[in-house]
Amino acid sequence: MAAPRKILILGGSAEARELAERLTPRFDVTTSLAGRVRNPAVPAGALRVGGFGGEAGLRKWLSDNAVDAVVDATHPFAATITENAVAACDRLGIPHLILRRPPWPAEDATVVSSAAEAKDAVMARGFSRVFLTSGRSSIGAFLFSDAWFLIRVVEPMSADELPERHHLLLSRGPYTVAEETELMRQYEIEVLVTKNSGGTMTSAKLDAAAALNIPVVMIDRPALPERVSTVSTVDEAQRWVIERDTAEV
């Protein structure tokens, strides 16, 4: 019997974990994580943690490990690893798929394309109590502001990375609409800032904001690379891997 085909899943999302669970043990699956979170949920199959060392490092890793196919199931805002994976797979001729959950409908949100634009949108309307849920890399844009911030991130941050007036919440979701509503009420939130991450794990804040008539500033996703196969569900990604397996055996 032939050895199971080697699949690298670029992880860091719930979809990546779900895909690893479904493909193991039929495939020899390794999930790769950047290592940003101290106690990540452990996926099925093998796990490697830490950057590869740019596109060249990723290419070397793919060759050294004789990877047959790559599924990029990273978070929609993880643009660098996605670009590196496109380039590395292209150069090595390795089949490559991007799995991206669909974006949230922006509805009445103010859509911006960066954290700096989000800050401008918040300040232009004079909001003074801001719920920042857009991730640690976006907090810097709000550093020198007179507003007060409720900041929710997964990992601790140091005082010099945070605006002067804030309360820091460390948590990871999922959240319910009731919890999010209570939180926004408790802290008298006037505006919610979020990335357009999509998915159900953290979408309750949008329903809570709508119910409380709290405006939303939504940071739009980076564009996907061109000419790369992309799917939006774990089902489709699983099918893609299986189809390649049956076609090539």
Q: Is the preceding omega at residue 25 within 30 degrees of 0, hence cis?
A: yes
Stretch of 73-81, 90-98, 180-188, 209-217 lying at the interface with ligand NAP (CB under 6 A)? 73-81
Spatial distance between the Cα atoms of 121 and 125, rounded to a whole number of angstroms: 7
Instruction: Compare residues 196 and 238 and give the one whose CB is closer to ligand NAP.
Output: 196
Question: Residue 161 carries which DSSP code?
Answer: G
Write out the binding residues for ligand NAP, residues 125-164 only, by CB under 6 A. Answer: 135
Interface pattern 83-112 for ligand NAP (x via CB under 6 A): -x----------------------------
Distance in Å, CB of 58 to ligand NAP, minimum: 6
Stretch of 28-36, 92-100, 107-115, 236-244 lying at the interface with ligand NAP (CB under 6 A)? 28-36
Q: Up-side HSE of residue 100: CA atoms within 13 Å toward CB?
A: 20
Q: Is 11 in the site for ligand NAP (CB under 6 A)?
A: yes
Distance in Å, CB of 150 to ligand NAP, minimum: 18
Cβ of 2: how many Cβ atoms within 10 Å?
Answer: 7
Check: CB of residue 118 under 8 Å from CB of residue 134.
yes
Q: Is 19 in the site for ligand NAP (CB under 6 A)?
A: no
Q: Which amino acid is at 6?
A: K
Q: Is 34 in the site for ligand NAP (CB under 6 A)?
A: yes
* Binding-site member from 5, 7, 8, 12 for ligand NAP (CB under 6 A): 12
Whose CA is closest to 230, among 107, 135, 108, 96? 96
Distance in Å, CB of 138 to ligand NAP, minimum: 8
Stretch of 38-46, 76-84, 112-120, 203-211 lying at the interface with ligand NAP (CB under 6 A)? 76-84
* Binding-site member from 8, 20, 29, 58 for ligand NAP (CB under 6 A): 58
Give residue for tokens 């032939």: 2
Distance in Å, CB of 177 to ligand NAP, minimum: 21
Spatial distance between the Cα atoms of 16 and 235, rounded to a whole number of angstroms: 12
Q: Is 81 in the site for ligand NAP (CB under 6 A)?
A: yes
Check: CB of residue 77 under 8 Å from CB of residue 13.
no
Give the neighbor-by-neighbor strand order of the sheet with 6-10.
46-49, 28-33, 6-10, 69-72, 96-99, 230-231
Spatial distance between the Cα atoms of 59 and 55, rounded to a whole number of angstroms: 6
- Quick one: tokens of 237? 């990604």
10 Å CB burial of residue 221 (0-12, 13-18, 19+) is middle
Q: Is 218 in the site for ligand NAP (CB under 6 A)?
A: no
Distance in Å, CB of 186 to ligand NAP, minimum: 25
Q: Which residues bind ligand NAP (CB under 6 A)?
A: 10-13, 32-34, 36, 51-54, 57-58, 74-75, 77-81, 84, 135, 195
